[in-house]
Structures are given as C-alpha cells and as structure tokens.
Structure 1
C-alpha cells in the first residue's frame, strides 16, 4: 500500500525549450512557488556572483547558459515534484535527449516573441516519438510578441500536436493586463513586479459580468469575450487521456521572470500530469508498482564539487523501493553494489536519502562502475531501452599539449565521455583519439573542464570525418576483412564496438557496394533493436 501511495504522490518532468526562451527562469520560479528556494537567481548574471540556482558548473556561471541537466525536487500540495532542468543550447541536445528517457512528462517553454524555434521543433519531435505528455508555457507575455491565435496555429503546425488553451492572455506587451482562466473562470491580473504578484483569481460568474469592464476597461473586456467565444468554437474541451497519450498539449500564458502565470501552471500540472509510468526493457515491460526495485542510469557527472573530485551517477527509479546500504545487481557488470550515501538534489546542494520510490532520481557515488544506460535491479537480469548514441556531427582529433599531464588527460577525457558530454573513438592506426560532438561549443566545454577540473590541457585538430556508423555482419570472417581493408576509416567506440568513419554519403555507399555482407547502423542501439 505504501508503494502505491508513494507512486501516486510523484510527478517527474523535464523542462525543455530553445535557448533564451526562459526555461531556467521558469524552473526557478516553480521552485520558488513550491517553497524549495527563498530567492531566485537569474540566468544571465545581473549582479556579481548571482547565477541561476540550477546552473552550478563554473562554465555555466561564466557563460550564462545551461550545459548540463540539473535535478531538483520539492514538495507541493502533497505531491513530490521532481524537476529535470535541461540544457537549451543545441550543442548539448544529447544530454536533453537522454533526460527525456527519465521523465514522465514535459513542460515546453515557448517565447511569445520568437515563437517556435529550431531547437523547440527537434525536442518536440523526441517527445512525440516517445508519446511524452507535454504542457506548453508561452513566456514573456509582457513583451510585444505574436498574436496568440497565430501562435497557437504555429504551435500545432510546427510541433505536430493539437493544443488547448487553459488560460488566455488579456492583451500582450504594453497592453498585457493578465490572463483569464478558462476552466476556473477567473481573472488573474498582471502586476509587473518581480518580487510578487496577485495570488488570487478574481472569480467571474460569466463573461457578461460587468465587473470585466470595471477591472479591464471596455475595449479589453469586449476583446476577451470575443476571444473566448472564438476559442470555445475552435477547440474541443480539454481531454485528459489525449494529453497523457501525447496528442494534446494544454497551453498556459505568463511571464516567468515576473512570477506571473506560474501558480496556475503548477496547480494544473499536479492535477493532470501522470504519476510514474511503466518503462520498456529488452526482456519485458517494467511497471512502477512492482515490488522489486529497478532503475537505470541516464546521466553521469564528475566533479559536482571540484574540491572532492566526486563522480555521481543519476539513477531514475522505475519500480519498487530503493533503500540505502542495500546491495543491488548491476546487470552489465553482473555484480552487486551497495550505496552508502545516495543523494537527492537541489541544484548544487544535496542530501543523503534513506529510501526512494518510482519517479525519484537519486545520485549514486560512482567509482567508475557506471555507464549511461546501465540498469540496476534486485537480481533480475534485464536492460532498459531507449538511451542510444547517435552519430556526432563534428569530429576533432584530441591532442595533448602537455605531455607531463598525460595521465590527467586520459582520466579526464574518459570521465567526460562517461558523462555523455561527447563521444570518443579510438583509431589503432596512429593511436589516435577522435572526439565527436553535436556542436562546436562542446569542445570549448571539454577544454575548460579538462583544464579546471583535471589540470590537463589539450587542443583539437580538424579531421575529414562527418559521420560515425556502427558496423555489424553475420559473418565474422567478412567482418574482419572489412575492418582490415578499411583500416584508415575504422575506429572503436568506448565499449570496443567497431565504427566506420565516413567523410561523405558516397563513402558509405561505396563501402556497402564492395562489402554486401556488412551492415552500417546510425546508432549504437542496433543490437537491442534486432
């Protein structure tokens, strides 16, 4: 019974957006409304030493961007809320993709001025593929932005999802007066004060109530009536099952930096967002109410505290109860591990937890046992699905610029690769190490962290490769022949799997024509997908 109650209490979600849409600001304001923090920071430093609560890496504080997923939890109205704040920058999209395997729903932040942007579309495509329930928060309504109806059309067209507004803006930019709650039938008036807003809805019997004129003025009151009439004619009533199946996205409006529209979003979220969901493994589907513990590692981060050189593996609890100082089975290594100090997080602060339940994310101190995607159980031999490695888009040769620090460089790059910051490919020919990333900024982060966390300096040199393809064949002899004949283009990933590095699509076509018994795969999951 306790397991069932703990599952019902939990809501685990990710916040995603295009860079600068206000994602990290919204995260902090949710924490503020939930009582988890007393004062929010700002994403970009407005005062010396003041940074976002969820941005704890030194480079994040210097650059004013989020480059790693932050995990935070708090209690709100009897619910345990677990937030995974993700990087918005496209160069760190892989971290976000992995994080989406660990959440049960998503809040998507959209800038009302810029509308749907490139990264928004890519992230939403992953959500649609996994049928993740999505709530949309249209941010920055206090700025001059797109017409709300035009923006709804854009959301549906570009994100390939139906929408249903649950609040509606009254004006926009300099005419923004607040929002009308379509379900609660009440007004929330906008106060442009960052430290506080009106907490209570002004109840309205119906839209013909003359109080609208007294509160909003004649023009705004009539415009609201016209808008709501049009909305009710165009959109079906909100359907919870369609939302939880990932087909319908409720829409809210507000201004995160001014704390406006957050409470309506949070109150509705805890009512409609799903509790922990079942997860697919190679062998079977794992349901959260199963009594036996299972979980998987979706993120690894070294040096959360550079003074202690710690390494934390983030484990999403999928079923049963996780308990401190209990042995659990590491299915890849086929050995049992015990965790004396599992932790919960509030950005860079953490505390030891004695027990955790499905939906929770716990940090496990790691001595190098974990890789992203690893599974923990109480003994059952299974492997959770859905955390593939895709081909990087940019490849660079790693060069050591300080031979006296070779050990530090090797240790540092291996730990960063384990975290999923980038991918590392070894070429036996020339004993070369090639780093692959999604974007250029990742190379800057790697150099920064290697220098500041490991005392190792490096340089990156361009190589001609543009894609990595994982290699397989049903004939071991022909596979070996291919590896020998294509040795200049062959590398091995960190797990020792052979990879074909190509410079163009022609390279792949030519290689397959010459070797018809060889298969080239776009991601590392091909073995599990057979």
Structure 2
C-alpha cells in the first residue's frame, strides 16, 4: 500500500513539463475553449460505414433532425454526401466538413472517401486534424485501403480510435479484427468494450473501464440505457479488462508499476492511462457497434471526448522562411499572430470556397491576410462554418478551429499569416497519377471545357491536365478509372460539356539498370560565335534505400531523379552547372524508349571543358541532354509498369475462379484466407492488366465478388511487353514525322 501512495504522488497527467507550462500561459477562458474542442476525421476502407456513422453522430448530437441512408433510398441521402453523384453511386467522393456538440464539447468532423481513387481527400483532411476514427468492418477487417489510411495517419502523427462497425453482420468477429490491427498495422490495440450478443443478436456493449452495460432503445437508438453488467458476461469482461490493462502496461509506466505490484487500477486511472497513451500514439483503443442499426454510437462519441486530443495537446510546427526554414512550434493561443493553412478548395455557388485550419491567432471577417507562396495580400470578405453543403456565417474563428472563406484566390496547401510572420506550413503528401486519358469535347469546343478542367485541377492536386506537345491532344491524368470517370460525369452535369475520350493509358516509367559513363562534346559553328560545351561523368540507377519512401512517390517523374555535381576546379564554370542540371531534368520528362518519364536515375557531373567565347548556358544545357540520351541507351534501359495491390473478396465457392482470373491477368497471389464462407485473396497485378477487371469479376461470381486496389510500386515490364511498347512509340513518332512533312 505504501508503494501505491508513492505512485499517486507522481505526475503522469501532463504529456510533458514544457506543454504543462505552455498551457499555464493561456488565459482560463482560452484554455477552457481549447479543452472543449475536438477536430476529428472518419476514415476507412470503402463500404466500412464511415458516412453512415457520421449520419448517426450528427443525429444523436442534434445537428440533423432525421437519419437518411447513404444511397438515398428515400430520395434524400446522407447529409454528408451532398453531391448528386455521391447519392447515386452510394460512395463518398469529396470529403465534407461539419461541426456539432456533444457533452458541451465542440466537435469539427470531416467525413472522408474510402475509395483509393479519392485518397487525396483523406490525405489533406488528416493533414489538418488532431485525431481520427479508423472504422473497420467486423467481417472484412483490415483491407487494402485500411492499410493506406493507416499509413496516412502515421505520416501526420494522428492519434486514433478504432471503431469495429457492423457488429450485427453474419460472421462478425471483433477479436479477429483486433488481431489483424496488431499484426497488419503494427498497432498496440486492445478493446475497451465487449459486445453483448453476436451477429443478429447484437444488443449493446459492455464498457471495460466502468464495467457497465450500455443498450440503445427508441425508434432510432436515441435512448442510451446504462445497466449492470450481465452475469453471464462477467468472467469474459474481467478477462478482457485484464488484457486491456496488460496491453497498457507495456507502454505506460504508471499502469506497469501497478501491474507489477498486482494492484488493480481505479476506473479513472485506467481512463487517464488510455488517454495518455492514445495521445502519445502508443495505444489504440477499440470500440465496437453497429452504425446502421443505431447501436453504441454514443459510446464512441464519449470515447472521442475522453481519449482524442484537444488542439492545444498536439504539437504543430511551421517553417520560418527567414531562418532557413527552421522549425517553429506554433502557439495554440488566439491572441498570437495569425497562421492558417488552406487545405481544400471547392467551387461554391458564390465562387471559390477555401477551407482553412487556424493553427495560431484569430481569423476575423474583414481581416487582411498574407499569402506566403504568392506574396499577395487578400481581404476576407466572408467567413463561414461548414455543415456539409450548408454554411453558417461567423464573425471570427479562434485557433484550433476549421472554417471556410469566400473570395480568396489561392491554391490547395497555401499558408496564410497576418503579415507579421514569414512562416509556411509543411506541405501535404500528394501521390502522382497512375492513369491517363485523352479527352476532347463532343462538337465545338466551348469555354466551359477549359473552365471545368481548370477548376478540377485547382480543387484536386491528383487530377492533372496537359496538352501533348506532339499530338496536341488534351490529356487528363488521375488515380484510377473511377477518378477520371467521376470528373467526366461532373463536366457533363455541372458544365454541360459532353466529351470523347481515348483509350486509358497507364503511367509507365523508364529507368536504367547499369552504370554508364558519358564524355560528350557539343560543338556548333555557323559564323560568328558558336556553341561549345564538354561534360564528363556517368549515370546510374538510384537505389530504393536512398529514396525516402514515405515522402516521395515512385510514380513521380522528376522527384526520384538526382543531379550530383562532383566537379573539382573551374573546368566547368559554376554558373553553367544549373544549365546542365536543367538539361538533365528536362530530358527526364520524356524517355527515349516509350516517351514516358524517366525515374530513379542519378546524373553525376565529374568534369568538363568550356570555351571563353563559344560557351553558354544553352550550349551546356544541350550538351547535358545529348550526353544523357547517349548514356541512357547504353545503360540497359528498362520500362517500368505500375503494380497494384489488389484485394478480391468473394464467396468461398468462387475461390478457384477468382485466383484463375488474377493469374490470367499476370497477377502474383500474395495471400489467400477463407473467413466465414468468404475468401479474401491478396495479389499484386500490373495496372495495365486491370482494365475491365470489375466486369469479369462480377460475371464469374454472379455479381457477389468485390475488389479494391491500391498503387504499390513500379517494376520492370516483361521483355515482350517492353518490345511492344517500344515498337508502338516508334510507329507513333514515324506517323507524326510524316504528318509534319
């Protein structure tokens, strides 16, 4: 007992002393406002029930008057799926923001898409949120997009809760799902609830912290009944509570000390430890329920308040441009100088709608803001809080809040300050497109065609548009077939522009396998001063270990290429080195085998020679381009194709046909698991082989099969495919040359 008294004297409540001191500097009213605020996102694999869960949260918190379902069966549709396309297809396409209150706490919520094609929506939401709910299906568990979302949460250091949804589904097993979270996501996870009943008999949950049972009653589950623990679940509840304490003891010193002394922690001590380690991202509490059948959603809301961080409990950093981008910790005070990040753009009825997260200071209507990227000053004419597609005008917004403003011209990812600070926020990760289409308007080209493409590019950093310099065709690129299909449909509905599209093109890449030296002299004399430049060095492949996998994308055309200046002396004057670098990077934009961008190549400049009169930046730039072309052809060049991680789910009787279909499309089976009459097959398949896969899968499984895919990596094509791509590119160039003549 003496040991217990000593434990009580230790301060485990504040994450660190510095943060505790900083909180003391905040005014009591400001600290109270921040303590009662949560910014959360809801993310998951497609069809896990994110939007359904958000709809219940809004209903139980009194934000909406009735519950509507995702697919708009009653011609209304879920509140957060305001776009007609979302209601028709039953999927979330754009992340939607709202705000509500629970237990006198203000909660900003962003509902994000689950489909991999709209992954940028998840990326930018998690960039500005303090906490998140990771929704998991009690049958499907950890699926391909779950792994992607988990990686995004880790990238932005976002604490999260797990919500195991669809507990009333046949084959539901929360303990298998928690085991998957531990093994596949490498998270220290334990249940803070156990279910009462299973599958169709699922009635409610038992809270393992309070050891109380919770049931939902009423037409829409709005009444929460707190009852004593059922006697038949007492032993199982004690077992799972012990498992919770044991899991916490591995990461929390206070609980570990109690555990070693064989002392049972009090309910408050256990709750404090869960919060402490959830905020430190050392622990993930797992809740369970059924959003569709209105069970245990209120308990999850209690968990959001109890275990996810308030804005002042998260460390937010900016880069001080005046001090060589030195990292600076932002203050949570509303009285500090203003710093905010524009994380999402949307074309609204009244012009561009810009979503902003206020990190420091206060944003007021009528304020002048300084755009760090452009250097321009802009005035805030209108400030609103968003509730899906509805808005509420406000006069000011304090630190830690999420709001939107009209009439401000900016790009996604721009940092705004009040002009007194030259800070910029770190940028969000933007994956590069993997699929392209040629596009042209049906009939006469109208201004709406270019207007739509311009708007979509501003809104979505993963949607790219360019005009091919040789064919003069407009090419759109995106994250998948559905991604581009949605934008074409939106162009037709919102801008009245019908389009004709070409065959989808996969984002192939080119690279080299061998290290090859170059020694190139560029000479040109045509009267007067000529051109002279000589460069010596080598090119080689960049090893994967040298690339920061989390911060770069293998689909990017220039990011993974490296220019290295290893010259000694002044044979190559330093003022010509940037021209050589520019020549190399320009050459990488279009490869020599198939016309696709070159990636993962290092260009090393070792020596060279210049002429006092004839050398120029142009001469050295051309020398770099010709030298690179010459060396590239001798360095065993290879074409890389995008490989997708494909997850197929189908009734177990179709296991053989599903595997055969993947094999037919040159897939490599990675894993296969049968769970409750359903088979989950994981495979790695070239994207070029995935066109039309959805139709084939439905036909062989009588419409019961589903699949999802996520970009994984680029790998070399097989020799036959490479030869075919090279021949097609040569024919295309010959045709274009003849057309020019």
Moved more, 193-202 or 31-40: 193-202
Residue 470 of structure 1: how far off its partner (Å):
2.8
- The 1:268–1:503 alpha-carbon spacing in structure 2 relative to 1, beyond 3 Å, is same
- The 1:342–1:437 alpha-carbon spacing in structure 2 relative to 1, beyond 3 Å, is same
Counterparts of 1:3 and 1:460, CA distance in 2: 55
1:465 partnered with 2:567: no
Which of 142, 146, 165 in structure 2 is aligned with 1:120?
146
Q: What's the counterpart of residue 280 of structure 1?
A: 317
Q: What's the counterpart of residue 12 of structure 1?
A: 39
Residue 197 of structure 1: how far off its partner (Å):
5.0
- The 1:23–1:502 alpha-carbon spacing in structure 2 relative to 1, beyond 3 Å, is farther
- The 1:365–1:152 alpha-carbon spacing in structure 2 relative to 1, beyond 3 Å, is same
- The 1:270–1:234 alpha-carbon spacing in structure 2 relative to 1, beyond 3 Å, is closer
Secondary structure of residue in 1 paired with 2:146: helix
Conserved 8 A contact 1:66-1:87: yes
- The 1:39–1:190 alpha-carbon spacing in structure 2 relative to 1, beyond 3 Å, is closer
Secondary structure of residue in 2 paired with 1:295: strand
Q: What's the counterpart of residue 162 of structure 1?
A: 188
Counterparts of 2:430 and 2:94, CA distance in 1: 17
Q: What's the counterpart of residue 508 of structure 1?
A: 599
Q: What's the counterpart of residue 92 of structure 2?
A: 66
For residues 62-461 of structure 1, what are the structure 2 equivalents within 5 Å?
62-189=88-215, 191=217, 195-196=220-221, 198-204=223-229, 212-213=230-231, 218=232, 223-224=236-237, 227-228=240-241, 236=249, 238-276=273-311, 277-283=314-320, 284-289=328-333, 291-303=336-348, 305=349, 310-366=351-407, 369-379=409-419, 380-405=421-446, 407-420=447-460, 422-427=462-467, 429-430=469-470, 431-461=472-502
Task: State the structure with more CA Rg.
Answer: 2
Counterparts of 1:362 and 1:110, CA distance in 2: 29
Moved more, 221-230 or 147-156: 221-230
Counterparts of 2:628 and 2:220, CA distance in 1: 66
- The 1:194–1:403 alpha-carbon spacing in structure 2 relative to 1, beyond 3 Å, is farther
Conserved 8 A contact 1:166-1:252: yes
Counterparts of 1:282 and 1:113, CA distance in 2: 44
Counterparts of 1:203 and 1:428, CA distance in 2: 69
For residues 40-59 of structure 1, what are the structure 2 equivalents within 5 Å?
40-47=67-74, 49-59=75-85
Counterparts of 2:407 and 2:437, CA distance in 1: 28
Deviations 1:237-277 (A, max 9, x none): 54323211222111111111222111111122112211113
Secondary structure of residue in 1 paired with 2:374: coil
Q: What's the counterpart of residue 584 of structure 2?
A: 482
- The 1:321–1:5 alpha-carbon spacing in structure 2 relative to 1, beyond 3 Å, is farther
Conserved 8 A contact 1:422-1:442: no
Residue 300 of structure 1: how far off its partner (Å):
0.5
- The 1:436–1:147 alpha-carbon spacing in structure 2 relative to 1, beyond 3 Å, is same
Q: What's the counterpart of residue 494 of structure 1?
A: none
Q: Which has the higher contact order (CA 8 A, sep 6+)?
A: 1
Counterparts of 1:287 and 1:501, CA distance in 2: 51
Gaps of 5+ in 2: 1-26, 250-269, 321-327, 509-554, 566-576, 605-626, 633-741
Moved more, 172-181 or 154-163: 172-181
Moved more, 220-229 or 140-149: 220-229
Residue 446 of structure 1: how far off its partner (Å):
0.8
Counterparts of 2:599 and 2:372, CA distance in 1: 35
Counterparts of 1:419 and 1:142, CA distance in 2: 38
- The 1:515–1:390 alpha-carbon spacing in structure 2 relative to 1, beyond 3 Å, is farther
Conserved 8 A contact 1:112-1:140: yes
Residue 229 of structure 1: how far off its partner (Å):
5.3
Conserved 8 A contact 2:441-2:498: yes
Conserved 8 A contact 2:558-2:585: no
Residue 198 of structure 1: how far off its partner (Å):
4.2
- The TM-score normalised by the length of structure 2 is 0.61
- The 1:248–1:469 alpha-carbon spacing in structure 2 relative to 1, beyond 3 Å, is same
Residue 135 of structure 1: how far off its partner (Å):
0.5
Conserved 8 A contact 1:416-1:422: no
Q: What's the counterpart of residue 496 of structure 1?
A: none
Residue 56 of structure 1: how far off its partner (Å):
0.8
Counterparts of 1:244 and 1:4, CA distance in 2: 18
Residue 34 of structure 1: how far off its partner (Å):
1.3
Conserved 8 A contact 1:197-1:260: no
Gaps of 5+ in 1: 205-211, 491-499, 519-530
Counterparts of 2:302 and 2:126, CA distance in 1: 22
Counterparts of 2:142 and 2:45, CA distance in 1: 8
Counterparts of 1:445 and 1:332, CA distance in 2: 30
Secondary structure of residue in 2 paired with 1:414: helix
